[in-house]
C-alpha cells in the first residue's frame, strides 16, 4: 500500500498547501467531520456554531519515532495523516463525502518535541522540566475535503510556567489531569488551579485547535466556496 506524502509547509507560523477542487455548487453540502476524540476540540467548534461528526483517526502518536524533527513540522504532518486516514476509512465503507478536520498538538522544549506523557512518572518529569521557563506549543491542522481539496497549517504559542508547589504537582498527577494532553497539562485547567502561567499567543492553540482563526475557512468549505488559491 502506498503512503500519502504530506504537503510541504513553507516557513512562518501558518502555511497552506492545496490541491484544487471545484466548488460543490449544486450538490448536497458535505458535513464536517472532526478526526479527533478530544472533547476540548469538539467544545471549541461548538462554541462557534459548528456541529461536527466525531470520527477519531486512532493513530498512536506515541508509537512514532520522530528523530530530529522540528516541532513546527511534526504537528501539521500528523494532522495531515490523521485526516487522510479518516478519509480513506470513510471511502472504504462508502460514507458520505465530508470535510474532515484533523489536528495535532505538541509541546516544544529546546527544540525537542514533547507529546503526551506515557505514565504518571513521565508526566511528573515532563511538567517539572517545563517549570520556571518558557516552552512552545504547536497545533497543526488539516482540512481535507471532497475531490482532494486540502488545507494544512499550524499556529504557535509560547507558554511560560512559573514555580509549581510540589504538593500541588502531586495532587495534579494523582488526579490523572495530565492524561492524554501534550506536555502533560491543559491550559484552562492549570490556570483554574492557580498555576503561575502566562500565554503569549492564542490560548485556543494551546488547548488544541485555533478554532476562531479557522472559522472563516470552515464556513467557506461547508458553503462550497473552498477551492481557490487563497491562504488559509
Of 60, 70, 73, 104, the catalytic one is 104
CB 153 within 8 A of CB 232: yes
3-state secondary structure of 98: coil
Q: Rounded to whole angstroms, how far apart are CA atoms 10 and 16?
A: 8
SS3 content of the chain, % helix, strand, coil (to 5): 35, 20, 45
- Closest to 33 measured CA to CA, from 91, 87, 114, 106: 87
- To the query of whether residue 104 is one of the catalytic residues in this protein, the response is yes
- Closest to 193 measured CA to CA, from 168, 175, 170, 173: 168
Catalytic positions: 104
Amino acid at each position: 500500500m502506498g503512503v500519502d506524502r504530506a504537503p510541504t509547509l513553507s516557513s512562518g507560523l501558518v502555511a497552506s498547501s492545496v490541491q484544487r477542487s471545484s466548488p460543490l455548487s449544486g450538490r448536497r453540502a458535505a458535513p464536517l467531520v472532526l478526526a479527533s476524540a478530544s472533547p476540548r476540540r469538539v467544545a471549541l467548534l461548538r462554541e462557534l456554531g459548528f456541529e461536527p461528526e466525531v470520527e477519531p483517526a486512532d493513530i498512536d502518536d506515541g508509537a512514532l519515532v520522530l528523530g530530529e524533527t522540528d516541532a513546527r513540522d511534526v504537528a501539521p504532518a500528523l494532522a495531515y495523516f490523521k485526516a487522510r486516514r479518516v478519509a480513506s476509512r470513510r471511502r472504504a465503507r462508502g460514507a458520505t463525502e465530508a470535510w474532515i478536520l484533523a489536528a495535532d498538538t505538541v509541546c516544544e522544549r529546546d527544540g525537542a518535541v514533547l507529546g503526551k506523557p506515557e505514565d504518571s512518572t513521565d508526566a511528573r518529569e515532563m511538567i517539572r522540566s517545563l517549570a520556571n521557563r518558557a516552552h512552545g506549543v504547536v497545533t497543526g491542522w488539516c482540512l481535507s475535503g471532497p475531490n482532494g481539496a486540502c488545507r494544512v497549517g499550524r499556529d504557535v504559542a509560547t507558554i511560560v510556567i512559573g514555580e509549581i508547589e510540589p504538593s500541588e504537582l502531586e495532587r495534579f498527577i494523582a488526579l490523572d489531569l495530565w492524561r492524554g494532553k501534550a506536555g502533560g497539562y491543559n491550559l484552562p485547567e492549570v490556570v483554574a488551579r492557580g498555576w503561575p502561567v502566562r500565554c503569549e499567543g492564542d490560548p485556543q492553540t494551546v488547548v488544541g485547535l485555533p478554532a476562531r482563526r479557522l472559522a472563516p475557512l470552515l464556513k467557506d468549505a461547508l458553503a462550497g466556496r473552498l477551492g481557490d488559491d487563497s491562504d488559509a
